Structure 1
């Protein structure tokens, strides 16, 4: 580190899952890393439920446009199936207005069976705790 003294003194440090020193990531980089390495099953460092909770938290910390672009990138370039659907549902939870979510779903649902996977995750992520009540009919 003789020549890279600026990087050494300005980088924020944190700890990783093992407790070792690591560099702190921006919310965008952390979400990208979580998506690009996503396997929605138990892993050595992280259980599947913990991964989903972390994705939920990171979606809320990022701009909706970035999340939507990342979901499309994950589906079309990384060829992931489940994670872009999770991002779409979580984006719908935190983003209101515009047609971002509608356009996103149109891009990340590429196969017929992905519609049912999207709806299954939506139902699981939005578990109802009380009785369903109907609002007034729309005009």
Structure 2
């Protein structure tokens, strides 16, 4: 319960969260978009061998890149703030996970049955880049909290 001096707690507004990202957050989303394009182009020759349409993969990868990048930046921003509960970041975190998994889910669904080595390769790629993204977000949250104290 809030005191009258504090006023009522304002409900988080996702459009405000995105607007308040600033240059760094927007730049991060653009960087994710460019990385996704490069990843799709590098994987292009291999995808077709396993029944994956490279154009569809590229489209999914690029369509999910911006929401993924924005959701990452907003999640970090919310978790760095002392005036926002961590639960405010939950929805954004779900978006991060769904957007991260979407291109890989398409690969597994479209390929039918890839050879074990290819399946393991995609799984390793997912784990490595997922762990890197998580590590980076945790590091940014810790750094942001340290700067605010």
The TM-score with structure 1 as length reference comes to 0.26
Kindly indicate whether structure 1 or structure 2 has the higher relative contact order, using CA contacts under 8 Å at least 6 residues apart: 2
Which structure carries more strand by proportion?
1
Which structure carries more helix by proportion?
2
The TM-score with structure 2 as length reference comes to 0.25
